[in-house]
Every structure is written in C-alpha cells, then in structure tokens.
Structure 1
Amino acid sequence: MASIKDIVFDSPHPASSARFWAQALDDYEIAPYDEEELTRLRSVGINDPEDDPTVLLVGTDGRLPRIFFQLVPENKRAKNRIHLDLSTTDAAAEVKRLCALGATVQAEREDWITMQDPDGNEFCVMRS
C-alpha cells in the first residue's frame, strides 16, 4: 500500500509560493535551510534560498503530507484537476485574510468559496 508523502505544486517562483502557503495553513512552515542544504544549493550555482527551484513546507509536528513547490517554466494553462479544501470556523474572515496574503476569490457557492493562490492554483474554503 502507498501513502501520500508530498503534495507538489508547480510554480513560477517556489519561494514566494511556499511563503503564501506557510502563512495560509496552520502548522506548516518552510523547511529550514541547514548548512548542508545551503552547500548543496551553492554547488549548483544557487547562492540565495530565494532562488531555490524546490522549496518544501513541512508540518511543524512532522506530520505528512509535506507540501513541495517546484520551479516550472510554463504558466498554468487550465483548471486544476486536483485542489485543496481548507476548513475554518469563520469562512468570511478566512477569505479576507487569504485575500490580504495575495489570494483571489474566483466563485462563491453555498457550501464553499473557490479561490486562487497567487500562482492561479484553485483551492476552496469550506463554509461549514
């Protein structure tokens, strides 16, 4: 049997995408850059983690799945075939907070609000 280790997002700028989702989600943070990782990045010509083509979000308690952002050259072209549903106790306040972080409202339904992250990836905020 398999289990989910990572959810992977394609991104034009992984560091920015990771920052948005680290702020959007409870209990997730950007994986720390230790000296070994910084050395690895420098070995491939990357001197600043802001330019890292692969940025990882980890659960603060070590839980899975991790959320991984990878650099891709092309822009998003179509509707997502998979998306995240976020739960909250106050959907209106959460939508407002997420918009302040750079998300946009795409559509409102009875039970959820469809939004887009700054890269255009759809996700939903559930009303209940």
Structure 2
Amino acid sequence: MTISIYATSFDAADAATLAAFWAAALGRDMNPGATPESASLPATDVDQPILFHGVPEAKTVKNRLHLDLITKDFDIDLARLLSLGATKLASFPAWTTLADPEGNEFDLIRG
C-alpha cells in the first residue's frame, strides 16, 4: 500500500489566528507567510504538518474527528491552554474535552 497521511488540516474562519493558537498550544513554530486564507505548522521529527485553510462558512456541528493530546503536566497544561483561548467543554477523570478558539473539539489526557 502506498497511501499514508500527509497532514492534519483544519478549516478556519482565520487560518493565521487559528494556526497561532495551535502553534502556542503544541510548542511548535508556524511557517512564515501566514494569512487569513492559509497557514501551517511544519512537520517535526515526531509530528506531521498541520495545515489551516480559510473557509467562508462557520463551524456548525460537533467534530467527527478530533485530536487527543497527552501530557504529564495535566493541570499546568490545562491552565495554559485555557489562557491561550481554549474553552473547557467537559471534564472526566482521565481527560478534559476542550474547544479551540474556533470551536474545534480536542481532548487533553492525563499522561
């Protein structure tokens, strides 16, 4: 088989702003030249690129796919993500479900 996943892509109202949130959240750099229409985080040694595409329509329903992030510093990273603009949606013993500034759900897992 020759198919593999190249990148994770997000549709966004403002690609540059959403990319800046995820760059800060993940401790990654943004590629230069970000605009409201297009932005990206480059691949790293362990992670694939993340692409952001400006679209005219707003997010209207729950994600069918989401990111699961894991951390050993759960309370510290939860507070940091909230300070970056994430919103807490639900809490469970092993994880918390959050939304990024454009409403895309993701989970922060105790590692």
Using the size of structure 1 for normalisation, the TM-score is 0.79
Distance between the aligned counterparts of 1:50 and 1:67, measured in 2?
A: 15
Structure exhibiting the larger radius of gyration computed from Cα positions: 1
Match of 1:95 in 2: 78
Q: CA offset at residue 91 of structure 1?
A: 1.1
Give unmatched runs, 5+ long, in structure 2: none
Using the size of structure 2 for normalisation, the TM-score is 0.91
Match of 1:76 in 2: 59
The secondary structure found in structure 2 opposite 1:24 is: helix
Match of 2:25 in 1: 24
The 5 A counterparts of 1:27-66 are 28-33=28-33, 49-51=34-36, 53-61=37-45, 64-66=47-49
The secondary structure found in structure 2 opposite 1:29 is: coil
Q: Deviations over 1:70-96 (max 9, x none)?
A: 011111111100000111111111110
Match of 2:7 in 1: 6
Q: CA offset at residue 64 of structure 1?
A: 4.6
Give unmatched runs, 5+ long, in structure 1: 34-48
Q: Deviations over 1:3-46 (max 9, x none)?
A: 111101010000000000000003x211124xxxxxxxxxxxxx
**4+ residue segments displaced more than 2 Å:** none
Could you say what the CA RMSD is over the residues aligned between the two structures, in angstroms? 1.5
Percent identity for Structure 1 against Structure 2: 42
Q: In structure 1, what residue type is equivalent to 2:42? A: V
Q: In structure 1, what residue type is equivalent to 2:78? A: V
The secondary structure found in structure 1 opposite 2:42 is: strand
The secondary structure found in structure 1 opposite 2:29 is: strand
Distance between the aligned counterparts of 1:85 and 1:12, measured in 2?
A: 22
Q: CA offset at residue 60 of structure 1?
A: 4.4
Which structure has greater helix proportion?
1
Distance between the aligned counterparts of 2:107 and 2:42, measured in 1?
A: 21
